[in-house]
Amino acid sequence: MRPDAIPHGSTDDLLPLHRQPGFLSFLLSRLAAVFAMQIQAVVVAWQVYAITRDPMSLAYVGLAQFLPMVLLLLPAGDLVDRFPRKRILQLSWAVQGLCSALLLVLSVAAGGDVTLYYAVLALFGCARAFTGPTLQSLLPNIVPRAQLAQAIALNSSIMKIAVIGGPLLGGILYAAGGSLAYAVCLGGFVAALALLVPVPIRHALQSGPLEATAWRRFTAGIGYIRHQPIILGAISLDLFAVLLGGVVALLPIYAQEVLHVGPEGLGALRSAIAVGALLMGLYLGVRGIRRHAGAVMFASVAVFGVANLVFALSTLFWLSLAAMLVAGAADMISVYVRMTLIQLATPDEMRGRVNAVNMLFIGSSNELGEFRAGSMAAWVGVVPAAVIGGLGTLAVVGAWLRVFAPLRRVDRFDEAAMEPPRS
């Protein structure tokens, strides 16, 4: 049994999800941390662009966080499988809180050099490398396996409250002063640490033998995914769709120069994505996806691409909000299918490393997607960059339908969960 696990009885397994020991406290701790991250994302992007007035500066905001994640995610996954997961999560949130405090100091100093902002964001990216795989691996240790799919949908939905409210609150706080916004972020990470303390680890399983060398341990997750074509297809589909089609990095430019709205409008655009995801997540938490899971995932990614195309060409604020709403709902379906496939098909002793690879893919799509969007906007213009991205997403869907036919044919989640690794 893992070193952070405690014995659990079968009585707990019969409890409804909301009464599982520590589950609500875990959700609230994540909610506080995600609130802080979302507020900070809006404030940093707006503040850096206000200082530089250069689209490339937004690309560097993403790159500063992505590069440390690339370097640290695989070692982080190994540590998550070898040491107490809750303790790792506490340390990573503490470092993120430190980053908020440093950004607060920079904001108070009111300097015009953005290099220090990039340095703090690099440290923030280091902490996120540990946060991602730990969070994904910790949830199956808190709830029984039979309730895992429901917990994933509910957890994703509840987090969207922060993704909705965070950008809106971030825009309002930034209008009142960047220093206040960073102080609120710091308070969010402190609250997350406090709420995580009483969460028990009750469903960790016996660990298998570890690989002899560090390199083999680091790459075990890659090897596992490589031999699972359904999981590989789901992860890579999400990666390239968001890498090419994501428009989040362009929102500050669209808000100011295309839609002519202020920080509040920027927050509303970011929140619209989360509103769509929240509504879809609540639906999935009640109904779920019981049939044609693979086909539904492909359809959702195609809808994501079309919605981003509509946003790219829109000059009407209400139409842009609607497009972001649909994009968020479609993305939630893709996330739900991908995460359920990964969690059900991965043994507990490998969850940290497999989830680290998954987070590497997700981090690549988000952070490199921001760099792609920002750099392309600097070269060809913001609207052409967004249009090219949306068309790229649709092209990826067409290609993946042919390359990953096993994913397209997945009907029920259990089919992927019971599939043995292929050599």
Average pLDDT, the chain: 82
CA atoms 9, 137, 135, 396: torsion sign = negative
What is the rounded distance in angstroms from the CA atom of residue 406 to the CA atom of residue 418? 14
**Domain termination residue (choose one: 201, 229, 245):** 201
Supply the pLDDT for residue 162: 79
Counting the structural domains of the chain, the total is 2
Q: Are 158 and 234 members of one domain?
A: no
Q: Are 246 and 327 members of one domain?
A: yes
Q: Tell me, yes or no, whether 240 lies in a domain.
A: yes
pLDDT for 331 beyond 60: yes
Q: Tell me, yes or no, whether 375 lies in a domain.
A: yes
pLDDT for 423 beyond 50: no
Q: Are 197 and 219 members of one domain?
A: no
Q: Are 300 and 166 members of one domain?
A: no
pLDDT for 1 beyond 60: no
Q: Tell me, yes or no, whether 54 lies in a domain.
A: yes
Instruction: Assess contact for 338 and 235: CB atoms under 8 A.
Output: yes
Give the residue, 293 or 94, on which the prediction is more confident.
94
Q: Are 176 and 250 members of one domain?
A: no
pLDDT for 52 beyond 80: yes
Please name the amino acid found at residue 69. Answer: M
Could you give phi then psi for residue 9, rounded to 5 degrees?
A: -105, 165
Q: Which residue has the tokens 């206040």?
A: 180
What is the rounded distance in angstroms from the CA atom of residue 167 to the CA atom of residue 38? 6
**Domain termination residue (choose one: 138, 171, 201):** 201
Supply the pLDDT for residue 367: 64
Q: Are 99 and 228 members of one domain?
A: no
**Domain termination residue (choose one: 178, 201, 224):** 201
pLDDT for 287 beyond 90: no
CA dihedral 282, 286, 290, 296 (to 10 degrees): -20
What is the rounded distance in angstroms from the CA atom of residue 357 to the CA atom of residue 31? 24
pLDDT for 58 beyond 60: yes
Supply the pLDDT for residue 422: 47
The set of residues, in sequence order, having a beta carbon less than 8 Å from that of 243 and lying 6+ positions away, is 364, 365, 368, 369, 372
Of the ranges 209-213, 229-233, 314-318, which one carries the lowest mean pLDDT score?
209-213
Q: Are 227 and 326 members of one domain?
A: yes
Supply the pLDDT for residue 197: 92
Q: In the chain, count of helices (H) and strands (E)?
A: 18, 0
Q: Tell me, yes or no, whether 14 lies in a domain.
A: no
Average pLDDT of the residues in 16-34: 83
Output the domain CATH number for residue 218. 1.20.1250.20
* Burial grade of 260 (CB within 10 A; 0-12, 13-18, 19 or more): exposed
Q: Tell me, yes or no, whether 1 lies in a domain.
A: no
Q: Tell me, yes or no, whether 12 lies in a domain.
A: no
Q: Are 265 and 338 members of one domain?
A: yes
Instruction: Assess contact for 201 and 140: CB atoms under 8 A.
Output: no
Q: Tell me, yes or no, whether 208 lies in a domain.
A: no
Q: Are 292 and 388 members of one domain?
A: yes
Instruction: Assess contact for 247 and 140: CB atoms under 8 A.
Output: no
Owning domain of residue 195: 20-201
Q: Are 333 and 231 members of one domain?
A: yes
Range 19-25 contact pairs with CB under 8 angstroms and sequence separation of 24 or more: 20/142, 20/143, 20/144, 20/147, 21/200, 21/202, 22/142, 22/198, 22/199, 22/200, 22/202, 23/142, 23/143, 23/151, 25/195, 25/196, 25/198, 25/199
Q: Tell me, yes or no, whether 5 lies in a domain.
A: no
Q: Are 167 and 235 members of one domain?
A: no
Read off the pLDDT of residues 372-387 as tens digits, 9 standing for 90 and up: 888 888 888 888 988 9
Supply the pLDDT for residue 84: 87
Distances (CA, A) of 390 to 47, 121, 254, 301, 399: 27, 28, 16, 11, 15
Q: Are 54 and 84 members of one domain?
A: yes
